[in-house]
Amino acid sequence: MTKGFKSWGYGALSVLLVGTLTLAGCGNGNKEEAGGSSSPSPEGSSSASASASASPSASDAQPYTLKWLKAQDISLPYDPTKDVVKQAIEKKLGIQIVPEMVDVQQYKTKLNLKMSSNDIPDVARIDFADDFQKYAQQGAFVDLTDLVNEKDTPNIMKEVPPEVFEQAKVNGKIYGIPYQGGPGAGYRWNLVLRKDYMSSVGAEAPKTLDEYYELLKKIKAAKPDVIPLGGYTAQIGQTKYANNSFDNVFGAFGVTPGFFTEQDGKFSNFDIDPRMREALLFLQKMYGEGLIDKEFATIKEEQLRAKLYSGKLFSWMGWWSTANDYDTQVETNELIKSGKLAADGKLPNQAEEPFKYLTLLGSLVGKDGTAVAPMGAPFSQMNAISTKTKDPKKVLSIIEDSLSPENQMLTVWGIEGEDYNIVDGKLKTVTDLVDPQTQQDKNGNFRGTQSYLFAPGLKGWPRYLESLPLRFSQSLDVAINNKYQITDASNYLDSPTKIAKLVELNTMRDSVFTQIIMGADIKKFDDFVTKWKSQGGDQILKELEESFQKKAGK
């Protein structure tokens, strides 16, 4: 249930799952996110891109020199002149990459210095929220508004939906290509149930909130010592109430705590939506009937895990990457109970085995047959072409060419037969190709997979799910393919009051919502709505509407 992956910090899974490496580093300076390892990871005119498809082959054309600011973990050895993946990309795209190494922790500082001195890389990967918008308005990046379109840059448009480009505009213009990387943006939570408990009461996986509610009642009747629905507390004031513990219930009512909404340029927030009142009353009923853990508002994640491992929990909202470990822990405890656990007390790696004890579900739908699932912001960074580059149209054509399906396989996964293989029609990365000490293969080559790429990854890199072990692939597949995903309408908009007051408003929300779920008078919700509006909420909505109009160039 940890949200480590949500902020793109992959932790122990980083090498196995993604190990994201960047073209120009990640602006937040996160070492795992910006990636510095060179080891492979298993995780003006419309003629710009037309020239890519009509140009002579890479072997016939003169290589185009591309300045590259490369975020690198300087504690690891790396020599770009011996990087065979880099060389393969250069040959395929007809370019010569001239990388300048900078430690991942210093990338943002280094890029800002270069921006200030006009020594800008040909393409800069830069944080959208602050730096990109500032430099775009100062004229640092090429205006791509008339260059990016279905006819001339079909690969780019396939990777970045028009609505995302709209969100990425600065004063109504496109100055870069949105980037997320890895498995893409999206919802990352699953409703997780003990399928053995579900089978014991003769039930099937629920599809609607009503079916789920009836299932919880059956579990409570049949297993009085098992908690039907578990939850745990989040940090007070954070955007998501109760750490997503009740996403499926809220979602079935068409709301999700903390998210702003927009319709015809008018903004509101789900926290004050009348449907939120209905959702809270439903949760209050569930709590009163003993279907929700009485300790949900006070326990931490590790305490919820203890209940899960000991068999005292039937269902909960789980972060996608945790399901494999949870299933293994449940199996371990069941073997302990039966006296069948191996002498060393351990189970072999279960990641490639089907789930034995857990069932993972997407959103439950409400009475109208719909739901909402709160996904993160579609992108966090931009690939922007410098106005100082010698041929911006050529650089755009290189980006367009690199995003063909074939070329993305090279830039994301490396060389087929070396960095990855296709086994029974599925992509499998080679995880033992590089010596972890030297970072070189047996021939003395470095292999900077995902070090030199433009692939936006908004929808996930090509064949990404295939690259994961079975359980990780299945759980991520359920999460990211949830068809009810929505984004926060305030993403990428300016509101000083939101920055100043949102934590205070969220803290008030968390307190009031918890009280209502635990039995307080629903009138507290009406009082909350009034206070939310008067204590900064109305001003936030006004500022978001103004920013929305400005971004659209109106």
Which pLDDT does position 243 carry in this prediction? Answer: 54
What does the block give as tokens for 39?
């080891």
Boundary (domain end) residue, out of 413, 441, 458: 458
Decide: 413 and 467 in contact? Cβ < 8 Å. yes
In a domain, 258, yes or no: yes
Asked whether residue 385 falls in the same domain as residue 360, the answer is no
The pairing of strands 426-429 and 420-423 is antiparallel
What does the block give as tokens for 18?
């993604």
In a domain, 58, yes or no: no
Q: Is 265 left (phi over 0), alpha (psi -120 to 50) or beta?
A: left
The pairing of strands 189-194 and 313-319 is antiparallel
Asked whether residue 179 falls in the same domain as residue 195, the answer is no
Beta bridge mates, 102: 71
In a domain, 427, yes or no: yes
Q: Is 362 left (phi over 0), alpha (psi -120 to 50) or beta?
A: beta
| CA–CA distance, 467 with 502 (Å, rounded to integer) | 39
Helices (H), 160-288: 162-168, 195-200, 209-222, 247-252, 274-288
Query: Angle at CA 449, nearest 5°, toward 98 and 426?
Result: 150
What does the block give as tokens for 391?
């041929």
Asked whether residue 73 falls in the same domain as residue 172, the answer is yes
Tally of domains in the chain: 2
| CA–CA distance, 221 with 199 (Å, rounded to integer) | 14
Q: For 26-74, what is each residue's pLDDT tens digit?
A: 333 333 333 333 333 333 333 333 333 334 444 456 899 999 999 999 8
| CA–CA distance, 472 with 485 (Å, rounded to integer) | 20
Asked whether residue 290 falls in the same domain as residue 392, the answer is no
In a domain, 482, yes or no: no
- Tell me the residue ranges of DSSP E strands in 347-429: 358-361, 373-374, 381-385, 420-423, 426-429
A 10 A CB-CB count for 467 gives 24
In a domain, 248, yes or no: yes
In a domain, 472, yes or no: no
Query: Angle at CA 63, nearest 5°, toward 62 and 64?
Result: 115
DSSP 444: S
Which pLDDT does position 15 carry in this prediction? Answer: 31
Decide: 506 and 237 in contact? Cβ < 8 Å. yes
Decide: 213 and 252 in contact? Cβ < 8 Å. no
Boundary (domain end) residue, out of 458, 475, 495: 458
What does the block give as tokens for 423?
């086994």
Asked whether residue 276 falls in the same domain as residue 394, the answer is no
Asked whether residue 312 falls in the same domain as residue 387, the answer is no
> pTM for this structure?
0.81
Asked whether residue 262 falls in the same domain as residue 318, the answer is yes
Asked whether residue 213 falls in the same domain as residue 360, the answer is yes
Which pLDDT does position 345 carry in this prediction? Answer: 81
Q: Which residue is it, tokens 């203890």?
A: 306
SS3 63: coil
Decide: 284 and 292 in contact? Cβ < 8 Å. no
Q: For 186-221, what is each residue's pLDDT tens digit?
A: 899 999 999 999 999 999 999 999 999 999 999 999
Give the DSSP per-residue string, 116-146.
HTT---SEEEEEIIIIIHHHHHTT-B---TT
DSSP 179: E
The CATH number given to whatever domain includes residue 432 is 3.40.190.10
Which pLDDT does position 60 carry in this prediction? Answer: 53
Q: How far is CA 469 from CA 39, 88, 213, in A?
A: 19, 27, 33
Q: How far is CA 300 from CA 102, 286, 326, 408, 409, in A?
A: 39, 21, 16, 41, 41
Exposure string over 508-535, b if 16+ CB within 10 A, otherwise e? bbbebbbbbbeeeeeeebeebbeebbee
Residues of the chain with pLDDT under 50: 1-59, 236-238, 242
Helices (H), 253-404: 274-288, 301-309, 323-338, 392-402
What does the block give as tokens for 294?
């009485």
Asked whether residue 531 falls in the same domain as residue 431, the answer is no
Q: Is 343 left (phi over 0), alpha (psi -120 to 50) or beta?
A: alpha
SS3 404: coil
Residues 6+ apart with CB under 8 A from 479: 186, 187, 188, 189, 190, 320, 362
The alpha carbon dihedral of 134, 137, 138, 144 has a sign of positive
Instruction: Give the residue numbers spanning the domain of 252.
Output: 189-374+487-552
| CA–CA distance, 293 with 274 (Å, rounded to integer) | 26
Asked whether residue 145 falls in the same domain as residue 225, the answer is no
Decide: 69 and 107 in contact? Cβ < 8 Å. yes
| CA–CA distance, 3 with 450 (Å, rounded to integer) | 24
Asked whether residue 207 falls in the same domain as residue 312, the answer is yes
| CA–CA distance, 266 with 133 (Å, rounded to integer) | 23
Task: Determine the residue type at 406.
Answer: E
Which pLDDT does position 553 carry in this prediction? Answer: 78
Helices (H), 414-495: 464-467, 470-480
In a domain, 20, yes or no: no
In a domain, 468, yes or no: no
Q: For 263-281, what is each residue's pLDDT tens digit?
A: 999 999 999 999 999 999 9
By C-alpha distance, which of 187, 190, 188 is closest to 364?
Answer: 190
Asked whether residue 210 falls in the same domain as residue 266, the answer is yes
Cα 519 from chain centroid (whole Å): 35
What does the block give as tokens for 387?
């106005």
